[in-house]
Amino acid sequence: MSNVKLAVIYYSSTGSNYKLANWAKEGAEAVGAEVKVLKVPELAPEAAIASNPAWKAHVEATQDVPTVTLSDLEWADAIIFSVPTRFGNMPAQMKQFLDTTGGLWFQGKLANKVVSAMSSASNLHGGHEATLLSLYTTMYHWGAIVAAPGYTDPVTFGAGGNPYGTSVTVDQNGNFTENAEAAVKHQAKRTVTVAEWVKKGQQ
């Protein structure tokens, strides 16, 4: 699968989704994909970031992670998104980036991209599934192909059993309450595999 190009695009305030993004990178590279891990721009005011030590530390620790551009979407055959939930929806930072994709959409350059998504919340029923479904709504407008993990591997159950995409519950110390690493890597491998099928079908 060395010809499949994967963009892992994330937003993370304190690091949970950055961790998920890097697990996805490892899983995809294990099956030969070329992977970029990319963050969306931070929109929160400096004062808000500075008032939260964990948020401030994460911003500083990831300052060298490339910021996603529209050209990265054109480059990618497949895209995995990773976002925390915000009241059952995606964060404004990710939504703002997606709202800039209208030009590519209009030109048909986002059609047939293979996409998948992951999420996190601070409690078990904090909007995991709603967040993923809200993100996929944009993907349907793109004409993208959603490669959700479903129940294609038992590792999904170890991560809480979310068929829409791997999701984690994050405790007050920033730890995941689920064993999600294997599920994330399976989801990444599945996304790359489906993208390879699509590429072969288009040749």
pLDDT at 100: 98
Domain residue ranges of the chain, discontinuous segments joined by +? 5-202
| Ordered DSSP codes for the chain | -TT-EEEEEE--SSSHHHHHHHHHHHHHHHTT-EEEEEEPPP-S-HHHHHT-HHHHHHHHHTTTSPBP-HHHHHH-SEEEEEEE-BTTB--HHHHHHHTTTHHHHHTTTTTT-EEEEEEEESSTTSSHHHHHHHHHHHHHHHT-EE---TTSSTHHHHTT--TTS-EEEB-TTS-BSS--HHHHHHHHHHHHHHHHHHHHHH-
25-58 pLDDT, tens digit per residue, is 999 999 999 999 999 999 999 999 999 999 999 9
What pTM does this model have? 0.95
Residue 5 pLDDT greater than 80, yes or no: yes
pLDDT at 15: 92
Backbone angles phi, psi at 85, to 5 degrees: -85, 145
Q: Identify residue 162 by its one-letter amino acid code.
A: N
145-165 pLDDT, tens digit per residue, is 999 999 999 999 999 999 999
Region 5-202: CATH code = 3.40.50.360
Spacing of C-alpha 200 from chain mean position: 24
Spacing of C-alpha 168 from chain mean position: 13
pLDDT at 1: 53
93-132 pLDDT, tens digit per residue, is 999 999 999 999 999 999 999 999 999 998 888 899 999 9
